[in-house]
Amino acid sequence: MAQTVKRAFKFRFYPTPGQAEELARTFGCVRLVYNKALDERTRAFTQQGRRISYAESSAALTEWKRSEGLAFLAEVSCVPLQQALRHLQGAFANFFARRAGYPVFKSRKRSRLSAEYTRSAFRWRDGRLTLAKMDGPLNIVWSRPLPEGAEPSTVTVSRDAAGRWFVSILCEGRIRPLDPVENTVGVDAGITALVTLSTGEKIINPRHERTARRKVARAQRGLARKEKGSANRAKARLRLARAHARVADRRNDHLHQVSTRLVRENQVIAVEDLAVGNLVKNRSLARAISDAGWRELRRMLEYKAAWYGRQLVVIDRFFPSSKLCSACGAIQRSMPLTVREWECACGVVHDRDVNAARNILAAGLAER
């Protein structure tokens, strides 16, 4: 039975000079409002021991617009400014619930700038999107169609460090779960192979960052040689950002292909609960682990499994998947990372990663 879910569809667009100027002003105002509200909340909490609510921050925003020094805030759409306050409220809610750290100020030099528009601040007509304060629709490159009859509820406009403009359109759509299958799979994440499956298959790790390392290093050296504040430095920074963006785009594309294939082919997918934050503290492996994108792959598997009626089982991170013999159940005392193949006392010779994937699958099926 099809389910209704909210999905965000991201597209690239090319603004006119006027639209780019209006969006740049909006980004600046959003950052200012967020930082000013955060500063007032922090001061009230540290000096008076009280919490400021969203309603109080919203009332303060109205007063800021009336003040002489901040009157320019009234020149941009008010909706992105209100949304910035809502995001700050959510950040504090997560902090007090101990789900996240204390909110931080938005930097003027941050890599990604964004503004969020709700339904009252944009017009959607005949597949054309026009934002508030703009006289014409955005020139969007429709790389894929929106769901039939979709009506956007929220639109987020952003510009990344490489100077590319994107619009993310949130709308409801109906997704039909995939037909049930009998296949189950255990997935062991790695570096040489991105993932090893319990079937014995190993999916290659393209190592996009390593492939582009020479080009990125050249761009970094070029940036370091330019005088700060010069136009040439701005161009060099853009070249470096584009090199990094290409690596990130290729990595995400590969992770989408792998996660989609695993979800389509298997009813149950078992994975390990890896502590990636701790693993990257290893200076010898941090770069390779970050390039592999294990955390992002796990995130993709989670939402795709939920969409398409599959089950993702997460195994405890302390489960000895590599040291456990999948044939007899004996546990080895130690298993250094340098050991890629080993023989159990029962006589079975194991490939380290395939054995781990089979153990992960067995543990996942036992937890169902």
126 is catalytic: no
Query: What is the separation of C-alpha 273 from the centre of its chain, rounded to a whole number of angstroms?
Result: 18
pTM listed for this prediction: 0.89
Query: What is the separation of C-alpha 35 from the centre of its chain, rounded to a whole number of angstroms?
Result: 23
Question: For the residues 100-118, what does the mean pLDDT come to?
Answer: 88
Residue 224: CB atoms within 10 A of its CB come to 10
**Hey, what are 311's tokens?**
């089950």
pLDDT tens by residue, 35-51: 999 999 999 989 988 89
pLDDT higher than 80, residue 128: yes
**Complete domains list, the chain, with CATH:** 3-175 (no CATH), 184-206+250-367 (3.30.420)
pLDDT tens by residue, 333-358: 888 888 889 899 898 999 999 999 99
What pLDDT does 230 receive? 95
Residue among 22, 116, 209, 272 flagged as catalytic: 272
What pLDDT does 336 receive? 87
Lowest average pLDDT, out of 18-32, 210-224, 242-256, 277-291, goes to: 277-291
Percent of the chain whose predicted confidence (pLDDT) is above 90: 81
Question: What distance in Å separates the CA atoms of residue 285 and residue 279, rounded to the nearest whole number?
Answer: 8
Residue among 188, 249, 291, 296 flagged as catalytic: 188
pLDDT higher than 70, residue 13: yes
pLDDT tens by residue, 63-86: 999 998 999 999 999 999 999 999
Q: Order across the sheet with 113-118: list the strands.
A: 113-118, 154-159, 165-175, 3-13, 140-141
272 is catalytic: yes
Residue 204 makes CB contacts below 8 A (sequence gap 6+) with: 193, 194
Question: What distance in Å separates the CA atoms of residue 350 and residue 344, rounded to the nearest whole number?
Answer: 8
Question: For the residues 186-191, what does the mean pLDDT come to?
Answer: 94
What pLDDT does 293 receive? 93
pLDDT higher than 80, residue 2: no
For residues 286, 292, 295, 301, the Cα torsion angle rounded to the nearest 10 degrees is -170
179-182: Cβ within 8 A, 24+ apart: 180/267, 180/309, 181/265, 181/266, 181/267, 182/267
Mean pLDDT of the chain: 93
